[in-house]
Amino acid sequence: MKKRMLAILLTLCAILTLLPFGASAASFQDVKSGAYYYDAVDWAVNHDPQITNGTGNGLFSPDNTCKRCEVVTFLWRAFGAEKMTGENPFADVKTTDYFYDAVLWAVENEITNGVDKTHFGPDSACTREQVATFLWRASGKSSYQLQVSPFADVLDKEHYSFTPILWAYENGVTNGQTKNTFGRTAPCTRGQIVTFLYRALANPLPPVETDGKFHFQPKVASKYLTDVFGEQMVVTWYNLVDAVLSGKTEVACPDDHTFNWVTGQFPDKCFPPLKGHIWAVDPDHPVKNGVARFMYDVPYEQLMAEVADFSRMVEEILNEAAKPEYSDFENALGLYNYFDSHYTYDWDAYEDNEQGKAYYLASYRMLTEKTGICQEISVAYSYLLMQTGAEADVVGGVSETDGEHHQWSYIRLNGHDYHIDPTWVLEMNGKLDYFLMTDAQRYAQGGYSKDRFRYVSSYTQDHPFPNYRADDETFAELWNGYFYSLDHENRTLYYEAEDASGDWTVKTFDYSDF
């Protein structure tokens, strides 16, 4: 009997030694039921192979910052903990390190290449954007369906983390630090990383279904706007839009300067129906204790009715002129041609403006009345581009030829900046001279010199702009032509232009790179 009991006890001990320590989230003193990471921790410690077993002494340390070596180790284990035999390029990763195989796996699978060619930076804090990027790469670099970034701090489409963050948001991996900010550079905690892994791998959302149409986006802004006004103003703008759409009359705001610039500069560019309708309760001191109180100059119900009508109109324009599956180049061209055929130049408004009486100028007027002058046309065109997800804003200048002040649009495609003049194309039957111009072509078409450009805002003394440069001549052959047709499937633009003998003929332009 004693021998039998001893055998049973030895068997139990053997079984218990095989169980992972902390085989449930409840075994950790610092992981409470109801915490957002509770299920994720439970999954991580029970995963085979085990992803993590806490930090010792019955603790998981969910609020501790995750190091780069920890993150790649978690990922490596989540994907099977493969034993690696490849070459180690990093001087700061030794064969005896617990994360050695994980780092080699991450490099081999192009999840990360380290902080430079010879250093991985294992003890460096891993940021939220890095974690989203690692997960996106490990998951196969999937695409996303979102038309516009929901985050005021994720607007640069050329940034390496832009697509991973939008993929993570759309697939429910993370909703950001706040409704309007992702917190790109904030350190990622242990609780966050296991939650991201859990949502991405163990509990993914079903595939995103779309109807293949554009839908109105209340919150849009461009990287250009962030460059000139700063991220804080864009965040405040997004918060203000949320407040307005919720019928509120207060919004978090750091200071009077921010509120005045946001309400003065952003509505016309980013939400046209709101221009001129939001006023500070106290114009001299709108912000008190970090909160701005404001009022509407029309009944709130009337304003929301105008917003609803405007949003329907914007959707109709976008779905006639552009397509969600099209590239920024294709949508920019589609809207360019749409402006050519649907809008007219308002010469009466031009005369009023010359006499200082055009107080009514606004992109909202342009879009609803289908007529305007350059200050309205360029903003409206850039606004619609932002609705498609493109990076766009406006540029102003003074002609050296005739001294005329003029404003046009500016867009970024594949890392290059270009000028587009939607005013001069009105009723021009698809003339492409003003489409995707370089600085030199902008000067050739009107005498507007780069050294007199004013990007985004004319108030350069308050908000200086970077030294942007438009010098890519990829589209130069189009400038003497007229739009004919577009073949999306084969990425070919057909345009009419004169040949060497002076005859007009249809030519082709391959835009596969765009």
- Extract long-range pairs of 170-173: CB within 8 Å, 24+ residues apart: 170/144, 170/145, 170/146, 170/208, 171/142, 171/144, 171/199, 171/200, 171/204, 171/205, 171/208, 172/199, 172/204, 172/205, 173/132, 173/135, 173/199, 173/200
Q: In terms of domains, do 449 and 493 share one? A: yes
Q: In terms of domains, do 346 and 454 share one? A: yes
Band the pLDDT of 23: cuts 50, 70, 90: low
**Cβ contacts of residue 254 below 8 Å, gap of 6+?**
232, 236, 287, 290
Helix (H, G, I), strand (E, B) or coil at 473: coil
Q: In terms of domains, do 107 and 10 share one? A: yes
pTM of the model: 0.88
Helix (H, G, I), strand (E, B) or coil at 210: coil
Strands 482-487 and 492-498: antiparallel
Helix (H, G, I), strand (E, B) or coil at 449: coil
Query: Which domain-ending residue is among 243, 267, 302?
Result: 302
Identify the DSSP state of 19: S
Percent of the chain whose pLDDT exceeds 70? 95
pLDDT tens digits for range 184-243: 999 999 999 999 999 998 877 777 677 889 999 999 999 999 999 999 999 999 999 999
Band the pLDDT of 20: cuts 50, 70, 90: very low
Q: In terms of domains, do 444 and 354 share one? A: yes
Band the pLDDT of 364: cuts 50, 70, 90: very high
Query: Which domain-ending residue is among 169, 202, 235?
Result: 202
Give domain status of residue 474, yes or no. yes
> For position 4, what pLDDT does the model report?
41
Give domain status of residue 227, yes or no. yes
Has residue 14 got a pLDDT over 70? no
Query: Residue 268 and residue 146: Cα distance in Å, rounded?
Result: 23
Q: In terms of domains, do 122 and 231 share one? A: no
Has residue 112 got a pLDDT over 70? yes
Give domain status of residue 311, yes or no. no
Q: Which of 26-30, 215-219, 348-352, 507-511 is predicted least confidently? A: 26-30
Has residue 8 got a pLDDT over 80? no
Band the pLDDT of 464: cuts 50, 70, 90: confident
118, 100 in Cβ contact below 8 A?
no
Give domain status of residue 312, yes or no. no
Has residue 13 got a pLDDT over 70? no
- Residue 125: strand pairing partners: 67
pLDDT tens digits for range 163-180: 999 999 999 999 899 999
Has residue 27 got a pLDDT over 90? no
Give domain status of residue 381, yes or no. yes
Kindly tell me the burial class for residue 333, based on how many C-beta atoms sit within 10 Å of its own C-beta (0-12, 13-18, 19 or more). Answer: buried
- Averaged pLDDT, 89-111: 96
Q: In terms of domains, do 32 and 87 share one? A: yes
Count the domains in the chain.
Answer: 3
Handedness of CA 384, 388, 392, 398 (dihedral sign): negative
Q: In terms of domains, do 193 and 272 share one? A: no
pLDDT tens digits for range 42-66: 999 999 999 998 999 999 999 999 9
**Cβ contacts of residue 446 below 8 Å, gap of 6+?**
399, 401, 404, 406, 421, 424
Q: In terms of domains, do 171 and 242 share one? A: no
Between CA 406 and CA 410, with CA 408 as vertex, the angle to 5 degrees is: 145
Give domain status of residue 255, yes or no. yes
> For position 206, what pLDDT does the model report?
77
CATH code, domain carrying 408: 3.10.620
Q: In terms of domains, do 375 and 289 share one? A: no
Band the pLDDT of 145: cuts 50, 70, 90: confident
Q: In terms of domains, do 23 and 166 share one? A: yes
Give domain status of residue 91, yes or no. yes
**Mean residue pLDDT across the chain:** 92
> For position 45, what pLDDT does the model report?
93
- Averaged pLDDT, 485-494: 97
Question: 483 is in which domain, residue-wise?
Answer: 322-510
> For position 465, what pLDDT does the model report?
87
**Cβ contacts of residue 248 below 8 Å, gap of 6+?**
none
Structure token pair of residue 398: 């003074």
> For position 3, what pLDDT does the model report?
42
Q: Cα dist. 462→153, 396, 468 in Å? A: 21, 16, 18
405, 446 in Cβ contact below 8 A?
no
Query: Which domain-ending residue is among 168, 202, 236?
Result: 202
Give domain status of residue 330, yes or no. yes
Band the pLDDT of 305: cuts 50, 70, 90: very high
